[in-house]
Amino acid sequence: MTDLQLITGNKNFSPSSLRPWLLLQESGIPFTEIAIDLFKPDSAEKLGIYSPSLKVPVLIHEGIKVWDSLPICEYLSETFLENRGWPCNLKKKAAARSVVAELHSDFQHFKRDWPMNCQMQVRMKPDEKLEQEIARLDAIMYCCRRKYGEGGDYLFGQFSIADCFMAPAVIALRAYGAQLSWKTNLYIDTLLANPHLQWWLEQAQQEMETLPLDKAG
């Protein structure tokens, strides 16, 4: 058991858990995962042992607790990766930080109407507001690959925190049958082929929990 613990939720339904988990796996940082089913009567009691917010994810390292996926990824980059969680190039880094902030705080219609569900495969027609947010996601991926994608096949060339934050959106876009540009679809194929993300998706397929009606969307 390592001195680094990541508290996560259900793999099928927890995009916030996926983001730091993917960074840890891709970076080769040893850690212990503690997964908590978020839809059980005793979920809050179990989360209370680890999480000040009673939410996931939470990172615990040498008595330090960090919660929320963005500060967790920042902490991992600063503490274990010499800030290599972000692109080294200054322009790329500035763009990557901006993209991650936008993914973290925006796209509320998308997150509500097309939530990450790793077991979902269905074509759904978006309404106008959702269509606008899908178009924005498409533009982000297309433009990042075109302007900053040299040196690799990820958003900013080499794998970064930006890809961790895009991963839940990519899963949902493909699951609900979004119509996207060819360059965006090439990037989505690359990210979904990542072996660590494939493992997460395989584990999610085995989960039996269903999303409660009051949590849907």
Which domains are assigned to the chain?
4-84 (3.40.30.10), 90-200 (1.20.1050.10)
82: alpha, beta or left? (left if phi > 0; alpha if psi -120 to 50): left
Work out the average pLDDT over 98-112. 97
pTM for the model: 0.95
Q: Is the dihedral angle over the CA atoms 99, 100, 106, 108 positive or is it negative?
A: positive
For the segment 120-133, what is each residue's pLDDT rounded down to a tens digit?
899 989 999 999 99
Work out the average pLDDT over 51-68. 97
Residues 6+ apart with CB under 8 A from 11: 17, 18, 35, 118, 200, 203, 204, 207
HSE (side-chain half, CA atoms, 13 Å) at 43: 15
d(CA 215, CA 217) in angstroms, rounded, equals: 6
25, amino acid identity: Q
Residue 182: CB atoms within 10 A of its CB come to 7
For the chain, give the number of residues.
217
Looking at the chain, which runs of residues are DSSP E strands?
4-8, 32-35, 58-61, 64-67
For the segment 144-202, what is each residue's pLDDT rounded down to a tens digit?
999 999 999 999 999 999 999 999 999 999 999 999 999 999 999 999 999 999 999 99
Judge contact between 138 and 99, C-beta under 8 A.
no
- Which residue intervals of 106-194 are DSSP H helices? 108-113, 128-148, 161-175, 182-192
